[in-house]
Structure 1
Amino acid sequence: MSTSREIRDLPDNELVDHIKTVRRDLFGLRFQHATGELENTAGLKTGKRDLARALTIARQRGIDTNK
């Protein structure tokens, strides 16, 4: 899920779950990159952008994502 339209349509609880999932995936990508196992480094950039979009929408809604 990468478009802001799709993320905006999510209910609050699913948005928080999406943020948790993206953070977990991004951590895995960074770990693979550090160990030299990651072949497609463009996934890091798209993951960061997806996380930023979701966090921006959460902030606009006033959702605390650090629970």
Structure 2
Amino acid sequence: MKAQELNDKTPEALREQLLALKKEAFNLRFQQATGQIASTARMRDVKRDVARVMTVLNQKAAAAAASN
């Protein structure tokens, strides 16, 4: 997922995506603990996607606060 794609989304859509990514991260951790995970690289990608979404959300919040 690209940061530009995230910038085009609304904060509500970003929060929904963040929730979905956190659920996926939870499931991947569970799979790793039970030895069923197929690709450990996906865990890294999900963590980075979570960070990207949170960064964009914080940027949008800061921009909204600055404009008020």
**TM-score scaled by length of structure 1:** 0.86
Task: Name 1:60's counterpart in structure 2.
Answer: 59
Structure 1 runs of 4+ aligned residues shifted over 2 Å read none
Between Structure 1 and Structure 2, whose CA radius of gyration is higher? 2
List per-residue Cα deviations over 1:32-66 (Å, max 9, x = no partner). Answer: 01110001000000000000000001111128xxx
User: Following superposition of structure 1 onto structure 2, how do residues 1-67 of structure 1 map, counting pairs within 5 Å?
Assistant: 2-62=1-61
**TM-score scaled by length of structure 2:** 0.85
Aligned length: 62
The answer to which structure has the higher helix fraction is 2
Q: Secondary structure at the match of 1:14?
A: helix
Distance (whole Å) between structure 1 residues aligned to residue 9 and residue 60 of structure 2: 12
Please provide the CA RMSD for this pair: 1.2
Distance (whole Å) between structure 2 residues aligned to residue 3 and residue 11 of structure 1: 15
